[in-house]
């Protein structure tokens, strides 16, 4: 139930293995990312998969899985929630940094 422990466990497993072993299902994808539902460690979880717009020094783009409430129905709503927006329509980024 500790989010940091879960994050480290998923990082060590690898995202692909975690998605497979937790029988994650892709709920929806849009330009903001991918919304996943999974069951693991006795919990029903939701994650939004996002790709960092800023490249690493090696030129790659890091992928993150952010835990979000399960009631969110779109990646845009999930990403908006991570920034503190209650209504996804209010989340309208113009520039990514």
Is pLDDT above 80 for 51? Answer: yes
Q: Is the pLDDT of residue 89 over 80?
A: no
Report the pLDDT value the prediction gives residue 22, as an integer from 0 to 100. 84
Inform me whether the pLDDT recorded for 96 exceeds 70.
Answer: no
Contact assessment for residue 52 and residue 60, using Cβ atoms and an 8 Å cutoff: no
Confidence category of residue 46, pLDDT binned at 50, 70, 90: very high
Would you state the pLDDT for residue 97?
60
pLDDT given at position 1: 61
What is the pLDDT, as a whole number, of residue 88? 77
Q: Is the dihedral of CA 53, 54, 60, 66 positive or negative?
A: negative
Q: How many C-beta atoms lie closer than 10 Å to residue 35's C-beta? A: 25
CA distances (Å), 30 to each of 26, 33, 50, in order? 11, 6, 10
Higher pLDDT, 18 or 26: 26
Q: How far apart are CA 81 and CA 50, in angstroms?
A: 13
The pTM (predicted TM-score) of the whole model is 0.81
């Amino acid at each position: 139930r500790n989010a940091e422990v879960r994050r480290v466990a998923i990082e060590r497993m690898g995202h692909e293995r975690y998605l497979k072993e937790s029988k994650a299902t892709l709920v929806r994808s849009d330009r903001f990312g991918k919304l996943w539902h999974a069951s693991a460690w006795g919990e029903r979880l939701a994650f939004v998969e996002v790709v960092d717009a800023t490249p690493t020094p090696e030129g790659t783009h890091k992928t993150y899985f952010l835990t979000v409430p399960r009631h969110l129905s779109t990646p845009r709503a999930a990403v908006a929630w991570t920034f503190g927006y209650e209504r996804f329509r209010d989340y309208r980024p113009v520039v990514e940094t």
